[in-house]
Structure 1
Amino acid sequence: MTTATTYFELSDTRQAEMHDLYRHLHAHPELSMQETRTAEFILQKLQALGLEAFLCGGTGVVGVLRNGDGPVVGYRADTDGLPMQEDTGLDHASTETGTLADGTAVPVMHGCGHDTHITVALTAAQLLSENQDTWSGTAVFIFQPGEETAAGAKAMVEDGLWDKAPTPEIIYGQHVWPGLAGSVNISSGTAMAMADSWKITVRGRQAHGSQPEQSIDPIVLGAHMVVRIQTIVAREIHPMKNAVVTIGTFHAGLKENIIPATAEFSVNVRTFDIDVRTRVLESLRRIIRAEADASGAPAPLIEEISSFPQCYNDPASADALITELQATLGEDRVNVVPPVMGSEDFGLLAEVLGAPSVYWMFGAFSQERLDAEGDLPGNHSPHFAPDVEPTLSTGVRAALTALLSRMGTSRVRL
């Protein structure tokens, strides 16, 4: 890359178009792996820009922009919404509904900011398409469904993503979060935790509440499991290692004088280290089965709900990008931070190739709003409403900085 500097233009007109795009996407979210209308919308936008575009993994979309010889670089944005009732008061608030896998009708909201991710990726693709004299190579834009359920990256890979699209030498991605707009947070090395979620069905024996001796009470048994599970992190994991074990749901029974036949609870595990993950999951199985055996109950049913891979930032690639982001956004706007316990399936896209990847966060709230309101709602809140600017422009600048750090023929600034 030469030392010459070329500036992309994000004109007032272009910025207004970007804002309209965001508002449209925010108003029309869809549930994980059901993003049919969203996928068709993205497909049409990419084709209008002149990109090769195709569906992959059901409701995933891939856009390929070729511009002569040079590196192949991937950029991923996720596309799904959440089963939440929006409560932001925005003019473009979602009124959409969807249906869960069990048939339950639910409201749907872009409560995790994936609408900003789509907007940023489409705008970056447009600017690259219009400024092809500043870079050379191939940009692969991956619009991934089902991030919230860890189903989307897996579905795209299994559908032959890297047989259908050019193979990138590196994949970048980013996520909006409730920090200062105009800034980014990035880690070198481990960036986010692995996450494993299970549903456990505790099987007992039903009886009348007045005749407990005829029962095997799954509520008492499940309660013992829940309490004993809390000792895994406290007593089985080294104090200098990180792990979180959360019991998120517990359901049992229909009437106060009936000891039910079954109880059901869900558990979520977050870890950074592969060996720690293995130890925690093995301990979970041991405790669940042993408590059932101690109660004389049938073996519990353990079902996997989801499994998120490690999100690991290749240190050399992350350090190089940090330098570029500092040059673009300013050193005071680039925060090098420890990993977070949140999880992502982004890492799988590069992991299956043995390629490096880098993932970072960009802020959602202006300094004025932070000063006025203090703590603001975060991702997965029904009140989560990022400030449109400078959030979107920062996302575009960061995305282009990453892509052009590999493909740029000059130092490009936006």
Structure 2
Amino acid sequence: MYVTWLAGATKLLAEARTTWRGTIMAVFQPGEETAEGAQAMIDDGLFKRFPKPDVILGQHVMVGPSGTVAGRAGAITSAADSLQIRLFGRGAHGSMPQASIDPVVMAAATVIRLQTIVSREIAAAEAAVVTIGALQAGTKENVIPDEAIIKLNVRTFDAGVRTRVLAAIERIVNAEAAASGAPRKPEITSLDHYPLNVNDRDASERVVEAFRGHFGTERVRATGPAPASEDFGSFGTEWHVPSVFWFVGGTDPETYAKAKAANKLTELPVNHSPKFAPVLHPTLQTGVEALVVAARAWLPA
């Protein structure tokens, strides 16, 4: 969707170049899913090789009626931190647990305790997500292994909350290892980090006004901050330029309407689900038009 949208938008803008004045830079960013693409472009001299823009614009396909766009001023996508935790025990035969320091039990206790961070350490008015995505230990049912691996993901919308959550993870992991008598302290390794993606208020209002003028108010929706994460925010933050990021609906409108009427929106396939398959039309056309319309809001005739 993203490559096609951007290729289509730049083609249309190039064909109509006699109708506007200014400079457009199309950023075909790789590696978004690993939080490496934006930073790799920056490290490769993006800011030195190209002129500083007045605004940076981006979009993402999401669950929502196809043909609509949605956004907000302020935080639009969360900060994200992925961590790997390596817990050390002492292996033994399954029939002689007394000879072991069981990392499976250690990992299980750690997972349960980590789930209390959001429910017991974060205020109800604040937001955070801690997800354990992988728990790996052992290869045989009658062998107690000597280590276990936990991989987890954290999403936050506030720098202070992020600091508290990461500190709580480190405290809990070390405490559970000590409670188990682990022979070594756990290893906590950062796998990736996405910055908080914040939309500039004035620039967002300009984009929304342009969208309403083109799509009509019924196709322009307001949305809350999304717990998904994007390294798009690195461009604006590190270049010190206002940025605006929004979502383009990709769900069949009839399917979305039926799910909403039945109060089953949470059952619709979401991004990264194997069943998430945005309908091509009008998703493709809407995405192309959104980029063109947003860009033209900064390009005088």
Q: TM-score range by the shorter chain?
A: over 0.9
TM-score normalised by the chain length of structure 1: 0.69
Large movers: runs of 4+ above 3 Å: 368-376
Structure (1/2) with the larger helix percentage: 2
Q: 1:302 aligns with which of 177, 182, 188?
A: 188
CA distance in 2, matches of 1:382, 1:208: 39
Tell me, yes or no, if structure 1 residue 262 matches structure 2 residue 154: no
SS of structure 1 residue aligned to 2:282: helix
Query: What is aligned with 1:313?
Result: 199
Instruction: Tell me by how many angstroms 1:231 deviates.
Output: 1.4
Quote the residue 1:167 is aligned against: 52
Asked if the contact 1:188–1:336 (Cα under 8 Å) also holds between the matched residues in 2, the reply is: no
Q: Distance in 2 between matches of 1:206 and 1:308?
A: 36
Provide the C-alpha distance between the structure 2 equivalents of 1:122 and 1:254, rounded to a whole number of angstroms: 48
Q: Does 1:124 align with 2:16?
A: no
Deviates more, 1:268-277 or 1:361-370: 361-370
In the TM superposition, what whole-angstrom CA distance separates every residue of 1:127-175 from its partner, at most 9, and x where no partner exists?
Answer: 1111112111110111111101101111111111111122112100001
Q: Give the match for residue 272 of structure 1.
A: 157
C-alpha deviations, 1:301-334, integer Å up to 9, x for none? 1111111111111111111211111111001111
Greater relative contact order (Cα < 8 A, sep 6+): 2
Q: Is the 8 A contact 1:233 1:243 kept in 2?
A: yes
Which residue of 2 is the match for residue 407 of structure 1?
Answer: 299
Q: Which residue of 2 aligns with 1:361?
A: 247
The corresponding residue for 1:332 is: 218
* Secondary structure of the corresponding residue to residue 172 of structure 1: strand
Aligned residue in 1 for 2:279: 387
Aligned Cα RMSD in Å? 1.5
User: Within 5 Å, which residues of 2 pair with 1:55-74?
Assistant: none
What residue is the counterpart of 1:200 in the other structure? 85
Letter in 2 for 1:387: V
Instruction: Tell me whether 1:215 sits opposite 2:80 in the alignment.
Output: no
**Structure that is richer in strand per residue:** 1
1:140–1:166 contact (8 Å) kept in structure 2: no
Classify the secondary structure of the residue corresponding to 1:264: strand
Matched position secondary structure for 2:176: helix
State the Cα deviation string for residues 187-229 of structure 1 (Å, max 9, x = none): 1101011111111111111111222222111011111111111
Which digits, 9 at most, give the CA deviation of each residue in 1:78-115, with x for residues without a partner? Answer: xxxxxxxxxxxxxxxxxxxxxxxxxxxxxxxxxxxxxx
CA contact (8 A) 1:198 1:305 kept: yes
Q: Return the TM-score normalized by structure 2.
A: 0.94
| CA pair 245-369 structure 1, distance change in 2 beyond 3 A | closer
Give the C-alpha shift of residue 383 in structure 1: 2.8
CA distance in 1, matches of 2:118, 2:269: 29
Helix, strand or coil for the counterpart of 2:28? Answer: strand
How many angstroms does 1:397 deviate by?
1.2
Structure 1 residues 111-260: aligned runs within 5 Å: 116-260=1-145
Which of residues 289, 292, 300 is equivalent to 1:397?
Answer: 289
SS at match of 2:272: coil
